[in-house]
Each structure stands twice: as C-alpha cells, then as structure tokens.
Amino acid sequence: MASAGIVWRGDFETGDRSQYSSTQMVSSDRLQVVTSPVAEGKYALKATVRQGDDPINSSGNRNELVYLGREASGSEYYYRWKVMFPADYPSVDTWQLFTQWHHDGCCGSPPVEFYVRGEEIRLSLPGTGEVPWKTKLVRGVWHEFILHAKWHADPKVGFVELWHNQKLVLPKRGAITMYSGQKNYLKLGLYRNDTVKPVGVVYHDGFVQATTLADVLPPVTQPPPPPPVDAGTPPPVDAGSPGEEEPVEVDAGSPEEEEPGEADAGVPPVVEEPEPGPTMPGSSAPPQGMPSEDVLNSEVGCSTGGSSLAAFALLGLLGVMRVRRRRS
C-alpha cells in the first residue's frame, strides 16, 4: 500500500514510460524499459546517447524523460532514485548530466543537476556556481541517491541535503534551488556535451518523490528467525512388557508368626468348641479327646485334691491344643 507521503513514482513498474509526462528522444530505442539489469522490482530504464542525438535542436546531445512536477517556490520534497554506469561508460573531461531539476524558463543551466565529469560524480548548483559534493565514479554498481530539497530563489530559505548509498554525504545547506518567478521540473536520462564521441549508456530505476524521508527509504528486510534449538531426544522410558509386574517381596515373618491370610489383625481368633463325645449314663469320664484328670494332675505335678491348679493346667492344655490345630 502506498504511503500518504508519496507524491509520485517514476520506477517503471508499469513496464513502460507512461509514468512520465513526455520524452525528448530521437527514437524509442534510446529510452528503453528493460528487465535487466534492475535495481528493484521488475523494470528499469536504459538511456542511450550517440553523438549527434539532438531531438530538440538545443546545445548538446540528449535522450531524456520529462516529468512536469512543477515544484513551486517554498515546496519541500525528498527524492530517491538509483543509477548504474556500465563498465564501458565513457570517461571524458566534460559534463554528462544524468539527472536534473530544470526551470521552466527558456534558457540557462538548471538550478540543480547531477552529472559525471571524468571519473567523478558531482552535484552542481549553477545558481551559486558551487559543486558542494562529488565522489568517485564506480562503474557496474547501482548508486542510490536521496535528495532533500526546499525549492526557493533565496539561499536563506532554499536548501539541499544529500544521501549517497544511504550515507549522509551533504548535510543540509542553504542554496538557490530555483530561479525567481519560475517552477522546476524533472529530467531523467542522459544529456551531454556534443563533443563526446563514444556511445553512452546509463540505467535508471526506482524513482520516488515524497514528503518524508521514511517514505523514500527502501523497505527494511527483517532477518529470518533463528532455527529452533534441538534440546535432544529424551531417553525412552522402558515400561516393561505388557502384563509384566515387578515382583514384590512378601515378609513371611518368623516361624512363630501366623501365616498371612489366616487371621485378621485386631480380630480375636475364633475358638472352636470340641464336639462332646458319647458318654454312658452316670459316667464321669471326660469327653472323648480330652485327657483325664489323673493325667492332668500327673503332668503338672499336683495331687487330685488340687482342683484349682488342675483347672489352670487344663486351660493351658486347651490353648496348646488350639495352636497345634491351627498349625496342622
């Protein structure tokens, strides 16, 4: 989505020259929209000039695009565009303009112009006769320019500011950026001294005009997120074979303890009463399976008269018999 601060685009992404107001060229092959090389998007402009190309019967040779932006006095804009000079670009000790803001009067040098002279790229302000910035001409690479200008005939009001390859190379400074009573418009392509004989080619791409610096800066590409950190594979948990259970040790206790499952702790054992055996009427014999009183007396060392002692002995004997029966 275009920003509200963008005023105009001349980036050739329409695939033709329709973004511009008009052309000054001797033939259509001098200003071609091409797909390679490009600085951004899909298209760029290839401007070619041969000695003798003079489409408007003026000084010098040229093939240029014109955009009638008609910048008024006091207006202020940012402009960004990219230019590439191929490896065989001519090196001559004279001027070869590739971008200019021209006045709408009939004659004279434009108030702001970018050109090559010899092995240098220069910014010139003919209104004050200054060349406030220049750099080495590097061929075969894209040069990005951002010009911040306030258009005015008074150098105390008008100014220029320049970035080259996203580096501020000319801090804001006062300048005569337009001629009194006139407006400015853009010319893009190649315009050079008619003494230059070799064929000259310049590529242009990505031109945009806006009211803020942020709107002309190229989009910032975010770095891809780092790959996830491999924390390692957790060791497998051996759940054992299905149906297997670890053996559980059972404390069988000491030989004197009761066997498990035979008695509930805290519940007294059931005492089974012996069934009475058959007796004869009037007989005083003890029930079958019980020792006689004489036997009991002899085992505990008491006489038959010691009935109380015999009773205690009998109870002890009964307890021993019950224990033996439970362990049988």
Q: Which of 143-152, 230-239, 272-281 has the lowest mean pLDDT?
A: 272-281
The model's pLDDT over 236-267, given as tens digits with 9 standing for 90+, comes to 655 555 555 555 454 544 444 444 444 444 44
Amino acid symbol at 98: F
Name the more confident of 37 and 271.
37
Instruction: Provide the CA 161 distance to its chain's centre, in angstroms.
Output: 34
- The DSSP-derived string for 259-281 is PTTSS-TTSPPPPPPPPPPP--T
Mean pLDDT of 62-84: 97
pLDDT-based confidence at residue 311 (cuts at 50, 70, 90): very low
Name the more confident of 250 and 184.
184
Give the chain's radius of gyration (CA, Å): 57
Residue 245: predicted pLDDT: 52
Nearest to 192 by CA among 44, 58, 26: 58
The span from the CA of 90 to the CA of 6, in Å, is 35
Alpha helices in the chain (DSSP H): 213-216, 293-300, 307-327
**Is the Cβ–Cβ distance between 127 and 175 less than 8 Å?**
yes
Residue 203: predicted pLDDT: 98
pLDDT-based confidence at residue 105 (cuts at 50, 70, 90): confident
Q: Is the pLDDT of residue 273 over 90?
A: no
**Is the Cβ–Cβ distance between 296 and 303 less than 8 Å?**
no
The pTM score is 0.68
Q: Is the pLDDT of residue 90 over 60?
A: yes
The set of long-range contacts for 17-22, using a CB threshold of 8 Å and a minimum separation of 24, is: 17/45, 17/65, 19/67, 20/65, 20/66, 20/67, 20/188, 21/66, 21/67, 21/68, 21/185, 22/65, 22/66, 22/68
Mean pLDDT of 40-50: 98
Residue 265: predicted pLDDT: 45
Both tokens assigned to 269 = 């054992």
b (16+ CB within 10 A) / e for 292-314: eeeebbeeeebeeeeeeebeebb
Residue 315: predicted pLDDT: 47
Residue 107: predicted pLDDT: 83
Nearest to 155 by CA among 113, 112, 99: 112
Q: Is the pLDDT of residue 232 over 70?
A: no
Amino acid symbol at 187: K
Q: Give the 3-state secondary structure of residue 191.
A: strand
pLDDT-based confidence at residue 309 (cuts at 50, 70, 90): very low
**Count of alpha carbons within 13 angstroms of residue 146, beta-carbon side:** 19
